[in-house]
Amino acid sequence: MISIMRSVRRMKAVFFARNLEYLRDRASFGWNLVFPVLIVFALAVVFSGPPRALFIVTAVTSDSLPDLLDFPGIETISSDRSKALDRLSRQQTDLVVEVVEDSVLYWVNGNSASGAILELLLEYTESRPLERGETDGEAIRYVDWVVPGILGMNMMYSALWGVGYVVVRYRQSGYLRRLKATPLTKFEFLSAQVLSRLLVTLTASAIVFVGTNLILDYKMVGSLGLLFLIALVGGLAMITLGLAIACRTESKEFADGLLNAITFPMLLLSDVWFSLDGSPHWVQIIAQVLPLTHVLEAARAVMLDDAGMADITIHLAILVGFCTVGMALSIKLFKW
Amino acid sequence: MSEVILSVTGLEKSYDEVIAVAGLDFEIAKGECFGLLGPNGAGKSTTLAMLEGMEDPTQGTVQYYGGPRPPDYQTRVGIQFQATALQDFLTPFDNLKLFSSFYDDPIPMDQLIDQFRLQEFLHRDSRHLSGGQRQRLLLALALVHNPEIVFLDEPTTGLDPRSRRDLWDVVSALKADGRTLILTTHYMEEAEILCDELVILSHGKTLLQGSPKQLIADAGVSDLDTLFLSLTGETLVKTQEVID
């Protein structure tokens, strides 16, 4: 009995000490409270709105759209003609509509049953002259869509945690202070971290890419060289972001919170698991400031649509911008 | 006295409201072993960090051969920190190779391995070294570039008596090489054996300075331990009165 009481007393002491430690580490305590609340609100906002529609129509113009688009079962999204037709050929939209003067131009995918139904409904409800266009293309399989997302997500975690968390651990353990006492410069140290993690990230991504393709045979119609370039620049952008987070942070728990705060929005808003085409406009604007969005848009364009260098230049340029800002901030603010 | 390698004038360091070092003045001669002694919180490590160039003083100066410290000062000093983690999974061999690569003309690795008797655990994960083995490795890393001044921050803290004596032998050999050694310790016996000159600190201020023999003789006590205990006990109260 006495030994049980002793045991309970010791457990109680450790329990209270641990709680005290946790409560006094304000940064991690704050993150543990604030972060889940932010996630709940973010999900609520992003996925607010009416239930999912039966059909998706992409409107190229916004004025005098056919009455059919007001039907409750139809969700209308806006896009330019080129993107809309790309989506139609992948059957990510069922109908594309454009109003020019007094006539209605529409495109359907000849392989899509939903498109055929919408075409009938449009002919039945629309009084203006109709001009038909057709694309073909098989519906994109989910695996084709999601593989670039998973590769990108893997790269994001490897890059951000592999550098950000490790540098903070080095700092907390005094290893960085030991390095400071050598002629090693900040730039040399940071560059070595970047290159080392880049090698790991690219190797891991290449193995996963080849291995999963052998099993799943997902779609890859574009240039492997371009895909490598996207992985290289995207990896660098993520790694330098991780470095920027770690350049002054002293607590591993706080670094953990910050890294979660960076990765979670990308996981949610960068089209990793599903397309956000139907989401509010402001959500899509936020997505455009996240590096993973550009990695995935460029990778999908190459893998699914055989995009060339000119098609993905804007994404690469934005990623290079992330690298430059991230590295400059890291070198400027880095504390051993 | 031989040539002065480091001279400290009006050295102060404070962190927000806390004064860690409150105005120190002393000189360190080339080739001597200089000790900073004091109880925990006396300001030894902070003073050492300022001498190493790892921390900037709030006030005062540290001069090297009578002038400002040169930009390559870091390559002229070797530092063994009180608590240093090394990269996980790296062996002493990997660490020696890594740290050697930071310098243009490092001491050959074989020489360091012999000098610090690293052979028996050269390829063991550094996380699995004993306290004494670890300290020998850290000292080897501090010496890898053949520095002129070696800083040792409580090098034997936490070591068993045998490992401590082993390390004293290593430090004595460094001293015999003609290097300038600056160490902090709270082991009086260690200071008495190794140091040529001492500064005893309390609350960031100098209580006494001199050679161990001279300090013992002046105080009329049998050893440094007795002197230190009587001195710090009495002076701590006085310093507290000043703070109050």
> ipTM of this model?
0.81
Q: Where are the domains of chain B?
A: 4-243
CB A90 within 8 A of CB A137: yes
**Domain B4-243 is found in CATH 3.30.565.10:** no
User: Using 50, 70 and 90 to split pLDDT, how confident is the model at A2?
Assistant: confident
- pLDDT score of B68 more than 80: yes
- A11 touches B at CB < 8 Å: no
Burial A303-326 (b: 16+ CB within 10 A, else e): bbbebeeebbeebbebbeebbeeb
Distance from CA of B102 to the nearest CA of A (A): 6
Rounded to a whole number, what is the distance in Å from the CA of A176 to chain B's nearest CA?
A: 9
Name the minimum distance, in Å, from the CA of B24 to any CA of chain A: 23
A182–B83: do the CB atoms touch at under 8 Å? no
Confidence of residue B239 (pLDDT cuts 50, 70, 90): very low
Q: In this predicted model, what pLDDT tens digit does every residue of B70-87 receive, in sequence order? A: 988 988 999 998 777 787
The gap from C-alpha B122 to its chain's centroid, in whole angstroms, comes to: 25
Kindly report the nearest CA distance between residue A27 and chain B, in angstroms: 21
Yes or no, beta carbons of A181 and B87 under 8 Å apart: no
Residue A278's pLDDT is 65
Which of A173, A180, A184 comes nearest B85 by C-beta?
A173
The answer for A 177-196 residues in CB contact with B (under 8 A) is: 177-178, 180-184
Chain A CA closest to residue B83: A174
Please, which pLDDT band fits residue B11 given cuts at 50, 70 and 90?
A: very high
So what's the pLDDT on residue A39? Answer: 63
- pLDDT: which is higher, A23 or A305: A305
In three-state secondary structure terms, A121 is helix
Instruction: Give the separation between CA A174 and CA A248, rounded to whole angstroms.
Output: 14
- Our CA dihedral for B94, A159, A238, A250, rounded to 10 degrees, sits at -70
Q: How far is B216 from chain A (nearest CA, A)?
A: 36
Using the beta-carbon criterion (under 8 Å), do B81 and A182 form an inter-chain contact? no
The answer to whether B176 contacts chain A (CB < 8 Å) is: no
* Total beta-carbon pairs less than 8 A apart between chain A and chain B: 37
Residue of B nearest to A189 (CA): B102
Instruction: Pick A205 or B186 by higher pLDDT.
Output: A205
The pLDDT value recorded for residue A309 is 94
Strand bridging mode B18-29 / B4-15: antiparallel
**Quick one: which of B134, B198, B124 has its CA closest to B160?**
B134
Strand residues in B89-157 grouped as ranges (E)? 149-153
Which residues numbered 281-320 in A keep a CB inside 8 Å of some CB on B? none
Tens of pLDDT, residues B109-156: 999 999 888 999 999 988 888 888 888 899 899 999 999 999 998 888
Q: What is the pLDDT of residues B157-183, one digit of tens each?
A: 877 888 888 888 888 888 888 899 999
Minimum Cα–Cα distance from B71: chain A residue: A183
Q: Do B79 and A183 touch (CB under 8 A)?
A: no
Reported confidence tier of residue A43, pLDDT bands at 50, 70, 90: low
By the 8 A CB rule, do B107 and B145 touch? yes
Chain B interface test: which of A177, A178, A185 (most B C-beta within 10 Å): A178
pLDDT tens for each residue of A71-85 = 888 888 888 888 888
Q: What is the per-residue pLDDT for B2?
A: 79
